[in-house]
Chain A
Amino acid sequence: MATTQNLERTTSMQDAPVITEAKSPLAGVLRYAAIGLILLFLLLPLLTFLINAFAFRWFYPQFFPKELSLQAWDNIFAPNFKVGEALWNSTLIAVVVTWVSIIIGIPAARALGMYKFRYKRVVEFFILAPIIVPGISISLGLNINFIRWGLSGTIPGVMLVHLIPVMPYVVLTLSGVFANYNADFEDQARTLGAGPIATFRYVTFPAIFPGIMVASLFAFLVSWSQYILTFLIGGGQVITMPVLLFSTVPGGRNPNIAALSLVFIGPAILILILTSRFLSGKSAIGGFGQI
């Protein structure tokens, strides 16, 4: 079963470029126009952020700001603005949450991706539930329990609560990888004398590694951009980048908001660039092509 599926996907992949690389000049123009349009939509908002972050008293009808200023950057990097603390907390939380979610996610995803069992759909539903149920509806009740357990207002508490929205993404991504995974290779390794650890290290891990990278990227970004759960469980004592951003926006000082937003999306974009080579459809599906 799994092998045929794998085969189908691979062939459809090979077909795809043939269609887009048709020799018609019109198709080429359309293709570049589409790419250009996508880039425009993605980059134009960032450009206004960039201009805003250096503008001062930029009002209509000035097309470009008459006065430029570094005031916003001075403001947000003043020690009391807590950008350093927020960046550190956000990074620490996102990295730990990513690691923990992958460690918990691998066995769960393997079970969901490779085995059929009773009530599998129910389990899948519960794993998806955090995406369907809005976080705010459970986090208020959760907060009361976290206060009782002494986790409220602490970084471990925030990490724990971040796992709620992160886990569905990790398990879903990884179970897709395991759906195309052939456990026979593990048996082969065992037959050749490898222990469980060596099997995982030399067979399982390399096969699912691209999937792990994609799942980690999701986990990192979902944790990185989490506001409401951080705020409720952190009780305002755990300052992360989204918490800082949300408290800055109501002030209405566009240059500060723009500068802070750039600082906020910077690390996310950096990580996206570093992991982008794992993001193509082929590697995200996983498999044994690279062994």
Chain B
Amino acid sequence: MFKRKMLSALLIVVVMSLGFAGAIAAQDAGCVLEPGDDPNSCPPPGFESWDAVLEEARGQTVNWHMWGGSDLINNFVDNFYGPVLEEEFGITLNRVPLADTVDAVNQVLSEAEAGETENGAIDLIWINGENFNTLKQADLLYGPWSRSIPNSVFVDWDNPAVALDFGRPVDGMESPWGGAQLHFIYDSARMSEEDLPRSYAELTTWIENNPGRFTYIAPGPGAFQGTRFVKQALFEISGGQEQWVGPFNQELYDMWAPALWDLLNSWEPNLWREGETYPANRNELNELFANGEIDFTVTQSPAGATPDINAGLLPETARAFTFNDNMIGDRHYLAIPFNSPNKAAALVLANLVLRPELQAAKANPDNWGDGLAIDVTRITDPDERAAVEAALEDLGVGAAPAEDLANSLVSDIVAEYQALIEADWEANVLQN
């Protein structure tokens, strides 16, 4: 085992010196379990083997702090993970609903400040982006572990969309739970598919022809869909997303940002309420759309409008569609704070959510309609693979075509742009 660790460390050094891995392998991601390896050969830090994790986890309670604003998601967690944890692993699940993930981050920061290093309140956080970065930079996460758990072999860690969280390396400090991709929803009772805009250029024309019928979520903290929507426009007017990948580039930003603000400002006279105000979050945008005030809303779910139709949030005629390019997609993750008293149980849960049958259940729009964290082609068991593939095909009438989503997919870029775009949008568009 020691040899393997040495070897993987050596390998990473070699790879890095070749400048090949670049941003991805900025740090040691810990012991990496490969398909076919004995799960016990690569235990997470602090444990002798995976069996030792299972043994210690028995009888523990895992306090999972997660955004609690969707009862679809809450029910999924309670009904699909709770019983399995209890019966199969002897673990009690305590889901703690949060209004905002940053509350959990602040809790960990407070505990660290108070010197609470062993008995933190939180065992597992549903996290990504800035929140993850804050805890990782402050060295307040347990790990690296996410490439050591048995089901990590189903995860395609070579995919930058998985290995990078908002453009920053995950480094084994969080493990994916699911995926999302920003795209749009229209009402098929109000407009036909042929009339849909398929790019920001076409959207600009559409807005001119349909004054007052479009708006987007104000970019800002807690409204990442709005920031993404603007970021995608930046990709299009600058000629593509590729040049934005990699470390933060102020020059590049300064070159293209003025054109972005010009474009968004040119929309304003024809936006909903003439752009005087913008919806603060997706719920507000959804409500305007559902009540017929505007003609488009956004979704993050591969099942498009289906979960919202089922929940009664959108009309039954709502359908999802994508532009031809630049639709940002990413993963969301689970992380374990450094002072979690039930790390073993947290590891078991993080491993459980990657189980193919549970990933398939999560993709079902009746349960949640979330994207996969795992790669279908890595599932070796034919029955499990069939179950996941079937789930992906049965996303309901509200879903956008899977090939449209795949063809337009781009990854998100480093978080520096996020804060910059949010501040500059406010200065140049909202207050203009």
Which residues of A come within 8 Å of B, CB atoms? 56-57, 59-61, 67, 69, 71, 75, 78, 80-81, 140, 143-145, 147-148, 152-153, 231, 235-237, 239, 243-244, 246-253, 255-256
In the complex, are the beta carbons of A81 and B65 less than 8 A apart?
no
In the complex, are the beta carbons of B312 and A236 less than 8 A apart?
no
Q: Which of B25-81 contact A (CB under 8 A)?
A: 63, 65, 67-71, 74-75, 78-79
A250-B110 in contact given A69-B312, A81-B74, A152-B121 (Cβ < 8 Å)? no
Q: Closest residue of chain A to B222, judged by CB? A: A250
Which residues of B come within 8 Å of A, CB atoms? 63, 65, 67-71, 74-75, 78-79, 82, 94-100, 103-104, 107, 110-111, 113-116, 121-122, 281-284, 286-287, 290-293, 311-313, 315-316
Distance of A81 Cα from B69 Cα, bound (Å) = 11
A252-B286 in contact given A81-B74, A246-B99 (Cβ < 8 Å)? yes
Distance of A248 Cα from B69 Cα, bound (Å) = 5
Q: Closest residue of chain A to B75, judged by CB? A: A80
Per DSSP, chain A at the interface is: helix
In the complex, are the beta carbons of A147 and B114 less than 8 A apart?
yes
> Which listed residue (B69, B122, B290) contacts A250, Cβ 8 A?
B69
Top 8 A-B residue pairs of the complex, sorted by shortest distance between their CB atoms: A252-B283, A251-B69, A250-B69, A80-B78, A60-B291, A247-B68, A247-B97, A235-B121
Q: Which residues of B contact A153 (CB under 8 A)?
A: 121
Q: Which residues of A contact B103 (CB under 8 A)?
A: 231, 236
Distance of A59 Cα from B187 Cα, bound (Å) = 13
Distance of A72 Cα from B309 Cα, bound (Å) = 15
In the complex, are the beta carbons of A250 and B95 less than 8 A apart?
no
Q: Which residues of B contact A61 (CB under 8 A)?
A: 292
Distance of A57 Cα from B284 Cα, bound (Å) = 15
- How near does chain B come to A48, taking the closest CB pair, in angstroms? 14
Q: Which residues of A contact B79 (CB under 8 A)?
A: 80
Beyond the given A59-B315, A251-B283, could you list 8 further A-B residue pairs with CB under 8 A, ordered by the A residue number?
Answer: A56-B312, A71-B312, A148-B115, A231-B103, A236-B103, A250-B99, A250-B281, A255-B312
Distance of A67 Cα from B95 Cα, bound (Å) = 32
28 pairs, CB–CB < 8 Å, chain A vs chain B: A59-B315, A60-B292, A60-B293, A61-B292, A69-B312, A71-B312, A80-B78, A80-B79, A144-B110, A144-B114, A145-B114, A147-B114, A148-B114, A148-B115, A148-B116, A235-B121, A236-B65, A236-B98, A236-B107, A237-B63, A239-B97, A246-B99, A247-B68, A248-B68, A250-B99, A251-B68, A252-B69, A253-B311
In the complex, are the beta carbons of A236 and B69 less than 8 A apart?
no
Most chain B CB atoms below 10 A, which of A69, A71, A147, A249: A147
Distance of A290 Cα from B74 Cα, bound (Å) = 54
In the complex, are the beta carbons of B98 and A252 less than 8 A apart?
no
Q: Which residues of A contact B104 (CB under 8 A)?
A: 236
Q: Which residues of A contact B99 (CB under 8 A)?
A: 246-247, 249-250
Q: Closest residue of chain B to A243, judged by CB? A: B97
Q: Which residues of B contact A59 (CB under 8 A)?
A: 290-292, 315
> Which listed residue (B71, B94, B100, B110) contacts A251, Cβ 8 A?
B71
Distance of A56 Cα from B315 Cα, bound (Å) = 10
Q: Which residues of B contact A140 (CB under 8 A)?
A: 110
Q: Closest residue of chain A to B82, judged by CB? A: A80
> Which listed residue (B110, B282, B287, B312) contacts A143, Cβ 8 A?
B110
In the complex, are the beta carbons of A252 and B291 less than 8 A apart?
no
Q: Which residues of B contact A60 (CB under 8 A)?
A: 291-293
Q: Which residues of A contact B100 (CB under 8 A)?
A: 250
Q: Which residues of B contact A145 (CB under 8 A)?
A: 114
- How near does chain A come to B355, taking the closest CB pair, in angstroms? 20
In the complex, are the beta carbons of A78 and B97 less than 8 A apart?
no
- How near does chain B come to A219, taking the closest CB pair, in angstroms? 26
Q: Closest residue of chain B to A234, judged by CB? A: B121
A81-B110 in contact given A147-B116, A237-B121 (Cβ < 8 Å)? no
